[in-house]
């Protein structure tokens, strides 16, 4: 298993905290505490965030920004595909536009497992470096987005992505949001013919304190949204300290040998191999 070389993981005495929450409710209250050590709240409106201070340095930490990440617990995933359906419905995608795909794979022991794959929201994203018009960009929370007003459809980003996470819009969309909806990089719906689309981590939800659609739809509670800076994650039911959760469960990242710094982590079961 990987030791997650691009992220420092520190031991923590804060156990997993179980919290029953409405999947679409704002997670605005602080998580339960162990002793006097509190887990920071994950989702708050930006103007409600209270500055935190580093216990090590005494320096205030800027909590008006996030560094979003996702975790997929493959031990729980049953391959139902509800995450894909929810994504398509939320973003009014065509049937062939699947921003999150679920693959059924064989493991080393002869069994099988399911692996959802979406945009990895790389720290060093290859797609950023090849876009000649800067239509692909990162927002202030580190999420890679596409400005379809700028995209010229050259598809260099599709070729550069090692995760096959981008899709070209060959035709005019037939599935459209309510009239008057203005597409933005955060909510690029409807998609525009001749441009490229991909997973956005549902930033139009997280900026309102809501769960991404795939997280909210997962009946197995196998998908987690987390903030690497706040060091906290939730699947809508449980809240955990993210770094501890990743370390204790030997989380890995897909194709991390490429040094793209994916912000998507996978927790494996037994004998699983992501090298397909």
- With helix as H, strand as E and coil as C, how does 11-54 read? CCCCCCEECCCCCCCCCCCCCCEECCEECCCCCCCHHHCCCEEC
pLDDT at 40 over 50: no
Three-state SS at 180: coil
Give pLDDT, residue 184.
96
How many structural domains does the chain have?
Answer: 1
Q: Please report whether residue 162 resides in a domain.
A: yes
User: So what's the pLDDT on residue 30?
Assistant: 30
- Provide the CATH number for the domain around residue 68: 3.30.70.20
Residue 96 lies in a domain: yes
Q: What is the DSSP string of 69-82?
A: EEEEETTT-----H
Q: Is residue 1 part of a domain?
A: no
Residue 7 falls within a domain, yes or no? Answer: no
In a domain, 274, yes or no: no
- Is 256 inside any structural domain? yes
More confident residue, 43 or 230: 230
List C-alpha distances in Å: 176 to 27, 139, 159, 182, 203. Answer: 30, 25, 28, 11, 19
The residue-averaged pLDDT of 239-247 equals 94
Q: What is the spatial distance between Cα 126 and Cα 160, in angstroms, rounded to a whole number?
A: 6
In this prediction, residues 9-16 reach a mean pLDDT of 30
Q: What is the extent of the structural domain holding 64?
A: 17-267
Is residue 71 a part of any domain in this protein? yes
Q: Is residue 181 part of a domain?
A: yes
Residues 116-170: pLDDT tens digits? 999 999 999 999 999 999 999 999 999 999 999 999 999 999 999 999 999 999 9
**pLDDT(35) > 90:** no
What's the pLDDT tens digit per position in 73-99?
A: 999 999 999 999 999 999 999 988 999
For the whole model, what pTM was predicted? 0.79
């Amino acid at each position: 298993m990987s030791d997650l070389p691009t992220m420092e993981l520190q031991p923590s005495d804060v156990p997993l905290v179980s919290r029953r929450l409405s999947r679409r409710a704002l997670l605005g209250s602080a998580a339960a505490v162990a002793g006097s050590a509190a887990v920071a709240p994950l989702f708050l409106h930006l103007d409600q965030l209270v500055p935190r201070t580093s216990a090590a340095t005494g320096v205030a930490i800027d909590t008006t920004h996030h560094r979003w990440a996702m975790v997929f617990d493959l031990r729980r995933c049953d391959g139902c595909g509800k995450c894909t359906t929810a994504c398509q419905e939320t973003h009014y995608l065509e049937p062939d536009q699947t921003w999150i795909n679920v693959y059924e794979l064989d493991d080393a022991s002869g069994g099988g497992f399911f692996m959802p794959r979406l945009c990895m929201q790389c720290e060093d994203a290859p797609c950023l470096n090849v876009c000649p018009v800067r239509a692909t960009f990162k927002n202030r929370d580190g999420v890679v987005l596409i400005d379809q007003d700028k995209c010229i459809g050259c598809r260099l980003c599709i070729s550069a992505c090692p995760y096959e996470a981008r899709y070209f819009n060959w035709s005019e969309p037939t599935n459209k949001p309510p009239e008057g909806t203005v597409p933005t990089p955060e909510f690029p719906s409807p998609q525009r013919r001749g441009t490229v689309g991909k997973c956005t981590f549902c930033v139009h939800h997280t900026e309102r304190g809501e769960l991404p659609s795939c997280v909210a739809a997962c009946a197995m509670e196998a998908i987690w949204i987390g903030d690497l800076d706040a060091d906290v994650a939730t699947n809508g039911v449980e809240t955990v300290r993210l770094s501890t959760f990743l370390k204790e469960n030997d989380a890995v990242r897909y194709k991390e040998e490429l040094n793209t710094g994916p912000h998507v982590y996978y927790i494996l079961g037994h004998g699983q191999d992501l090298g397909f």
